[in-house]
Amino acid sequence: MREPDPNLLSINTATVRAQWQLPEIIAGCARRGIRMISPWRDQVAATGLKESVQRIKDAGLALSGYCRGGMFPAIDGKTRRAALDDNKRTVDEALALGAPCLVLVVGGLPKDERGRVASKDLIGARAMVRDGIGELLEYARPSGMPLAIEPLHPMYAADRACVNTMSHANDLCDELGGGLGIAVDVYHVWWDPQLEREIERAGGHSGRLMAYHLCDWLVPTKDLLLDRGMMGDGVVDLPRIRGWMEAAGYRGPHEVEIFSANDWWKRDPDEVLATCVERHRSVC
Ligand code: ZN
């Protein structure tokens, strides 16, 4: 298989978030010839939205996405409405930043005010996700901001996202219609026996494949959230999955997103970016 186009490499800013604030990440990526980033909302808030927009523009960078909206299930109506309002503000930020899509981590079981899981109703949570995305689409669609559901690995079903497969995400896209797509993150979906078929299914609709996130699955994985691997250090057949994405018509960014508390977040961030560039070329 041919090497990936280096111009498609994007850095999800979580990858060096422990070492750098957003302005340093922007400058660091520009220095390395990386042309795209996908910033996180808290990092944009820390820098200020206006200043973030300006710095990204001055550095000549584009966005591959904006992280993130979602977290729809809620314990009561008031909390649910507050989450929807916050999601609308996130859409506005994504528009100001020029993001091609807003990534949605849809939320798991409803939590109480202290953040503890307060319900076992997974079916109900999934209904709240469907309704929440539907309501947000009514706001995002006319503003021209596509929403990308990111199915998360089933180990996060309780606390982060109760949409855990490409199949479920495709079903939601079928049901809710235009302006909604999928962020395919290899970390979350690499294990799925239906992956090739569901990528193909998403590719059958123009624009439904909205983002492609890269890292690797380490064996053993030592932390449920913060032990993602650098591409090439784990067991995911990255070229094969890229092949499926390309066969489905995807030509968009390859966004490296690595949460790694005990390894990559402890290294020199310039070295991390250099490794991302090299591994993208050699193993993705
Ligand atoms: Zn991701």
Sign for the pseudo-dihedral over CA of 84, 182, 251, 283:
positive
Q: Ligand 1: distance of its center to the CA of 185 in Å?
A: 5
Q: Ligand 1: distance of its center to the CA of 184 in Å?
A: 7
Q: Ligand 1: distance of its center to the CA of 122 in Å?
A: 22
Q: Ligand 1: distance of its center to the CA of 14 in Å?
A: 10
Q: Is the pTM of this model over 0.95?
A: yes
**pLDDT for 204:** 78
**pLDDT for 178:** 93
Q: Ligand 1: distance of its center to the CA of 69 in Å?
A: 12
Q: Ligand 1: distance of its center to the CA of 166 in Å?
A: 13
Q: Ligand 1: distance of its center to the CA of 94 in Å?
A: 16
Q: Ligand 1: distance of its center to the CA of 104 in Å?
A: 10
Residues 35-43 have a mean pLDDT of 98
Q: What pLDDT digit, counting tens, does each position of 13-36 carry?
A: 999 999 999 999 999 999 999 999
CATH number of the 6-283 domain: 3.20.20.150
**pLDDT for 94:** 98
Does 205 score more than 90 pLDDT? no
Does 184 score more than 90 pLDDT? yes
Q: Ligand 1: distance of its center to the CA of 47 in Å?
A: 22
Q: Ligand 1: distance of its center to the CA of 257 in Å?
A: 6
**pLDDT for 201:** 96
**pLDDT for 260:** 98
Does 1 score more than 90 pLDDT? no
Domain boundaries, the chain: 6-283
Residues 30-51 have a mean pLDDT of 98
Q: Ligand 1: distance of its center to the CA of 13 in Å?
A: 11
Average pLDDT value over all residues in the chain? 97
Does 101 score more than 80 pLDDT? yes
Q: Ligand 1: distance of its center to the CA of 150 in Å?
A: 7
Q: Ligand 1: distance of its center to the CA of 151 in Å?
A: 9
Q: Are 107 and 69 in contact (CB under 8 A)?
A: no
Q: Ligand 1: distance of its center to the CA of 175 in Å?
A: 23
Q: Ligand 1: distance of its center to the CA of 234 in Å?
A: 17
Q: Ligand 1: distance of its center to the CA of 115 in Å?
A: 22
Quote the tokens at residue 230. Answer: 């650098």
Q: What pLDDT digit, counting tens, does each position of 138-160 carry?
A: 999 999 999 999 999 999 999 99
Sign for the pseudo-dihedral over CA of 48, 50, 51, 57:
positive
Does 206 score more than 80 pLDDT? no
Residues 263-274 have a mean pLDDT of 98
